[in-house]
Amino acid sequence: MFSDNALLLYFEQTKARKSTVVALYENNKEHKRHSNGYKVIDKILASGTISIEDVEDYIRCKKIEKWKEKKITLNYPIWFEDGAIKEVSVGDSHKDFLTKSLDLFNDGLGVELIGDNDKRVKVHSLSKWKTYIDKGYVPYTNADIRMSGVFEYLDGLITALDKAQMHKISFVEGETMKDLIGRLSAQVLIDIEKELPDISIGELVKDGKAEIIEPEDLPYSVCIRYGDFLNTFSEQFRADLTNDGIENIFCYVWRNADGGTMGWGETMILGCHGNGGLIEEDGPQ
């Protein structure tokens, strides 16, 4: 029907449109699959055997089931002696984290704690650390105090993971800690003089009373300088952690004297409940 040259031309034009044709075909196939599924749902609803509310409840339950199989990626990994863990499952038990030895000083020496009568012990795992802290032991040096923050963090992380649920509402959708820091309540900062008003950090910065610093090597962290202290908030993950359906941010917070060596760490759950849009410390710690 066509000359060789014409056929070659048509073949080349067809090849150039192949990706478009394949994409249209796949899209139509997916649309047809969804359409068939919707028809089944419409048929069931029309039969009157179940209501739309029943379908919504079923979907909600399936979402919760799927969430329990979810793996959470930590923004900053947990460093154990046998390797780093960056991904954790929501539905799994995390008790093995209690006895695993942490890689603290990169030398295997552990954190030194001191008790009555100058008794000293070195600990490597969270379970041992908690046991001796409960007995009244305390970190011995500034370095040991700093490293004890790792135990504080791990303890809070395990508790948060055990409580984590799928959220229904998010106040932080698509926003990073850098985006949110202006809305963070000033009450989350260390306030030695007890003079902080109930305003946002953004307002403190605007008034020249605080400064926001973005640590170069910590992409999920933001630091606020206020008074004589630096407050570094490092986001680890997000989920409903207070059983109210609203998404929370689980953070590790490092406080240290500005220009000094004194510092300590703690965990914090952040949430927002409509107090002028302020993000505050939320739920039991």
Buried b (16+ CB within 10 A) or exposed e, 99-115: ebebbbeeeeebbbbbe
193 φ/ψ angles, rounded to the nearest 5 degrees: -85, -5
Segment 109-125, tens digit of pLDDT: 789 999 988 899 999 99
Output the CA angle 242-57-160, nearest 5 degrees: 20
Encoded tokens for 257:
């004297």
Instruction: Kindly report whether the global pTM for this prediction surpasses the value 0.85.
Output: no
Please report the pLDDT score of residue 64 as a whole number.
67
The domain limits of the chain are: 4-49, 76-163, 177-281
CB-based burial of residue 182 (10 Å sphere; 0-12 exposed, 13-18 middle, 19+ buried)? middle
Q: Which residue has the tokens 């759950």?
A: 269
Please report the pLDDT score of residue 28 as a whole number.
82
Segment 245-254, tens digit of pLDDT: 889 999 999 9
Residue 67: is its pLDDT beyond 70? no
CB-based burial of residue 149 (10 Å sphere; 0-12 exposed, 13-18 middle, 19+ buried)? buried
Determine contact, residues 216/140, Cβ cutoff 8 Å: no
- Cα dihedral 13, 15, 18, 20, rounded to 10, equals -40
Please report the pLDDT score of residue 90 as a whole number.
77
Least reliable range by pLDDT among 13-27, 52-66, 141-155, 235-249: 52-66
CA proximity to 171, closest of 270, 96, 257, 281: 270
Please report the pLDDT score of residue 107 as a whole number.
62
Distance CA 53, CA 50 (A): 8
Residue 3: is its pLDDT beyond 80? yes
Segment 232-281, tens digit of pLDDT: 999 999 999 998 888 999 999 999 888 777 788 899 999 987 655 889 99
Q: Which residue has the tokens 């995390």?
A: 94
